[in-house]
């Protein structure tokens, strides 16, 4: 069912997952011990209901369809897995090297968070 949506809608869904995941992880300071999937999903649901135009464009039939929700859950997992395995950029690594500090980060998004946090 998710595959029947337009490519633009599928991209918007992925972006909304990424956006909210980044916001959520920033809120918990990228502390893996504080991560709670249910809390993330609640935050994502608020986001799609209040800010995501793609969700408003879905028919009520699709929104109620259990298959759609199963595929959406798989898409959420896939998107988060992709984020967590996206290696930090060379630029991010160099920025940490210049700081001459030993920070632990595992993915591009976490490195971005740490660099922004250190700048502020």
When pLDDT is averaged across residues 68-76 and rounded to a whole number, the result is 95
- Say whether pLDDT at 99 is over 80: no
pLDDT of residue 101: 67
Asked if 16 contacts 52 with a C-beta cutoff of 8 angstroms, the reply is yes
pLDDT of residue 98: 79
Token pair 């290696």: residue = 87
- Say whether pLDDT at 104 is over 90: no
- Say whether pLDDT at 7 is over 90: yes
pTM, rounded to two decimals: 0.84
For helices 7-27 and 108-119, angle between their N-to-C axes, nearest 10 degrees = 50
Residue 85: band (very low, low, confident or very high) from pLDDT cuts 50, 70, 90: very high
Residue 120: band (very low, low, confident or very high) from pLDDT cuts 50, 70, 90: confident
Is the CA virtual torsion 74, 79, 83, 86 positive or negative? Answer: positive
When pLDDT is averaged across residues 13-27 and rounded to a whole number, the result is 96
């Amino acid at each position: 069912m998710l595959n029947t949506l337009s490519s633009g809608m599928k991209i918007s869904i992925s972006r909304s997952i990424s956006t909210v995941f980044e916001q959520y992880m920033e809120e918990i300071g990228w502390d893996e011990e504080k991560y709670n999937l249910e809390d993330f999903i609640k935050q994502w649901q608020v986001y799609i209901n209040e800010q995501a135009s793609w969700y408003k464009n879905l028919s009520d039939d699709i929104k109620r369809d259990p298959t759609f929700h199963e595929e959406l859950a798989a898409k959420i997992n896939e998107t988060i897995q992709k984020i967590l395995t996206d290696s930090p950029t060379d630029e991010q690594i160099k920025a940490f090297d210049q700081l001459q500090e030993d920070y632990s980060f595992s993915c591009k998004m976490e490195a971005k968070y740490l660099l922004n946090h250190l700048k502020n």
